[in-house]
Amino acid sequence: MPLPDSDIVKDRMGATALRDTLERDLLADRWGIGEKLPTERELGAHYGVARNTVRRALDALEQQGLIHRHVGRGTFRSMPAGSAPANDESLSPSDVVECRLILEPEMISLAVARATQADIARMAECLRGTDEAPDLARFEHWDAELHDAFALGTHNAAVIAMSRSLARVRERTDWGQLKARGNTVERRAILQEQHHAMVNAVRQRDRSSARQVMRDHILFVQGYMFSD
């Protein structure tokens, strides 16, 4: 689709202003889900900015989950977080954990191959959040954000949508009760050790280790959430 007319075309702007402009256009459905955006060169020429400014703006939009990029293919509009089927109430926590066991080891393996430095920085930020969480609620928040960062690191709109659909079950009361039942200092320490190992595997581009640690992590959660 052609670029939109804009009063700021050919005016100099910073990455933040460009991000805000592109975010507004994306949320207004200027580009459809899965549609390819103009190239960095085309965006820079249209808005009168350098390519590194365009790149910083796109990095920010990618962290927000509004776009995803493929090396050699281009930049694409991502599926919004709330666009997956909204029948989450029918999904039991045990079914969701089993599905995560199928999805997430391969998801993080793909993230190892595709994650940008901005993606890895977001993972590190979430990791600090879990390290510093003062209570279970904040720990669960940053835990969910970390797994979402792994999904975003795949740059695959379908994977992101599926991951977020499963993640919404974490917001339900029954999930919270199961997690609270197993919340101990010792278990949280193990979870954090696994979180650090996963982020380190992404940094090291070690797909085998990332896959294995994620599998061990979900099996550990499954064990303490649903044990008698």
Tokens for 114, please give them: 């595709």
Compute CA 163 distance to the chain's CA centroid, rounded to the nearest angstrom. 9
- 12 touches 48 (CB < 8 A): yes
Tokens for 19, please give them: 């991000």
pLDDT of residue 4: 47
**pLDDT, averaged in runs of 10, over the chain (228 residues):** 45 76 84 82 90 92 86 78 52 84 96 94 94 88 92 90 84 67 82 97 97 96 76
pLDDT of residue 12: 44
pLDDT of residue 227: 67
Tokens for 1, please give them: 């689709």
Q: Which of 218, 220, 225, 221 is nearest to 108 (CA)?
A: 218
pLDDT of residue 184: 81
pLDDT of residue 11: 40
Q: How far apart are CA 210 and CA 212, in angstroms?
A: 6
Q: How far apart are CA 38 and CA 31, in angstroms?
A: 10
pLDDT of residue 193: 96
pLDDT of residue 130: 93
